[in-house]
Amino acid sequence: MDCVLKKYGSLSIEAKASLWYLFCNFAQKGISFIVIPLYTRLLTTSEYGTYTVFQSWRDLILIFATLNLSAGVFTRGLVKNDGSNDKYTAQMQGLSSAVAVLTFLIVLLFFDPFRRLTGFDEKLVITLFVYYIFNPSFLFWSVRQRVENKYKSMVAITLLASLLVPAISLLMFFLTDIRANALIYGFLYVQIAVGMLFFVKQFVDGRAFFSKVVWWESLKFNIPLIPHYLSLIVLAQSDRLMIDHICGTSFAGIYSLTYNIGQIILIVIASINGSLVPWMYKKLKSGEYHSIAVTSNMLCILLGLMSAIVMLLAPEVVFIMGGSEYMPAKWCIPPVVMGTYFTFCYGLFSTVEFYIGKTSYVAVASFVGAVLNVILNLLFIPKYGFIAAAYTTEMCYLVFMVLHYFFMKKMTKERIFNIKKMIVICSAFFASSLIFTFLYDYDFARWGVAVLVSLLVLFKRRTFMNMIKGLREK
């Protein structure tokens, strides 16, 4: 233990921050993942479907209500901003708040059609837009802590909020009779409360609200990205909405469990991206493209191996997470996990696009992927049921990734990635995902392959750990 503490003490502030961000992401997503078996057993499949369909609508509306200003444009602004970050954060928060209020006023003008479309009552609509006003403040603060390597308070507050969401939700569930809505309001109330604290703090610290330059530059950067962000949500969430409409809320609940299991890989991706994106920006700025190519391929291999383990153990994971009622979801795991894997690969290319700043290409690629997803779902869900949605989404993420690569190449002639090796790596894992499905009827063979893949990860652990450490360099 003393040796571990001594080694930790010798790490740079960047390395310590990366370690804690990694822990925080795992813990945050892990808490959400752990409570899923509770939710699936307390609620019927239909009620769980209601809860997850709300999440889909929440994320879809969020794109219009916040313009996703706390995402790439804010990180880019912090890295490139030479002035006061307090003032810049307050100005961005002011813009986000103004957009949320304007969107709410538009919704009020068309309230009845909006309510019929979403199924939300008046109380839920108002609460949701209060969430859109205040929650971005916490996101702005979190991004800034990451960029500035201030990890202690960020980790503490993030974990506290992550614990409070299920605690308040379950408390409301047992003390009221609103069932699935208890989980919905529990989430919203906690996020609003946390967001309000940072909403006030950041306006006080920055002493600003409006800036013509900051608002104009941010809107100019982000508005072309709305089709991109919207398309990402369509790719990730439209399946549930269409299954809910075509097959029923119960099937939407079963399918949603598949995506929640896919969170296992998303936890890893989010944790890696917390260090990877700032690291890539710095390497792109200094022209160190070889480092990006080598690290990207190694990360693709690491995530591919972890994805393989999840796919191989899908029947067991589905049973633990949902029980026997949800077992049909196991057939969706391989395509859903591979779709998640392709999102990481596309993220490598889009990071370059964001850095260069030509966001119109990003929007085109995302729009094509989303439209294709909707068309394929309309064709195949009525014919083959909810399982078809997993495969149509996987194919769309693959198309999405390819388009982003070609658009990135249009922006820069630099050889940033070793694309031949990436194609070999992605093809190998894609082929494996198809084979794994046939092993679901042969448990011992499937478990044996899972053990072999796990041993490979263990054998190569030093290589992977050294690679992760490299992301923490200045």
Q: For every one of its 474 residues, what pLDDT tens digit does the chain have, with 9 covering 90 and above?
A: 566 566 667 667 766 776 787 777 778 878 888 899 999 999 999 999 999 999 999 999 999 999 999 877 888 788 776 557 899 999 999 999 999 999 999 999 999 999 988 989 999 999 999 999 999 999 999 988 888 878 888 889 999 999 999 999 999 999 998 988 999 999 999 999 999 999 999 999 999 999 999 999 999 888 887 877 888 788 778 888 899 989 988 999 999 998 888 777 877 777 777 678 777 888 888 888 888 888 888 888 888 999 999 999 999 999 999 988 899 999 999 999 999 899 888 888 888 887 787 667 777 887 888 889 999 999 999 999 999 999 998 999 899 889 988 888 888 888 888 889 999 999 999 999 999 998 998 889 999 999 999 898 888 777 777 676 666 554
Does residue 7 belong to any structural domain of this protein? no
User: Do 315 and 437 belong together in one domain?
Assistant: yes
What is the token pair recorded at 7? 């080694």
Does residue 40 belong to any structural domain of this protein? yes
Does residue 311 belong to any structural domain of this protein? yes
Does residue 343 belong to any structural domain of this protein? yes
User: Do 40 and 72 belong together in one domain?
Assistant: yes
User: Do 159 and 306 belong together in one domain?
Assistant: no
User: Do 357 and 241 belong together in one domain?
Assistant: yes
User: Do 345 and 444 belong together in one domain?
Assistant: yes
| Long-range contacts formed by 88-91: CB under 8 A, 24+ apart | 88/206, 88/214, 89/140, 89/141, 89/144, 89/202, 89/205, 89/206, 90/202, 90/203, 90/205, 90/206, 90/207, 90/208, 90/209, 91/206, 91/208, 91/209, 91/210, 91/211, 91/214, 91/215
User: Do 224 and 183 belong together in one domain?
Assistant: no
User: Do 146 and 283 belong together in one domain?
Assistant: no
User: Do 140 and 117 belong together in one domain?
Assistant: yes
CA distance 263 to 347: 16
Helices 45-66/249-261 angle, 10° precision: 70
Does residue 75 belong to any structural domain of this protein? yes
User: Do 426 and 464 belong together in one domain?
Assistant: yes
Check: CB of residue 144 under 8 Å from CB of residue 278.
Answer: no
Query: What total of structural domains would you count in the chain?
Result: 2
Check: CB of residue 315 under 8 Å from CB of residue 263.
Answer: no
* Chain center to CA of 379: 27
User: Do 426 and 325 belong together in one domain?
Assistant: yes
What is the token pair recorded at 309? 């383990």
Range of the structural domain that residue 205 is part of: 12-210
User: Do 96 and 122 belong together in one domain?
Assistant: yes
User: Do 206 and 222 belong together in one domain?
Assistant: no
| Domain termination site, one of 180, 210, 240 | 210
Does residue 3 belong to any structural domain of this protein? no
| Domain termination site, one of 182, 210, 238 | 210
| Domain termination site, one of 210, 230, 265 | 210
Does residue 1 belong to any structural domain of this protein? no
What kind and span of H or E run contains 48?
A: helix 45-66
Does residue 268 belong to any structural domain of this protein? yes
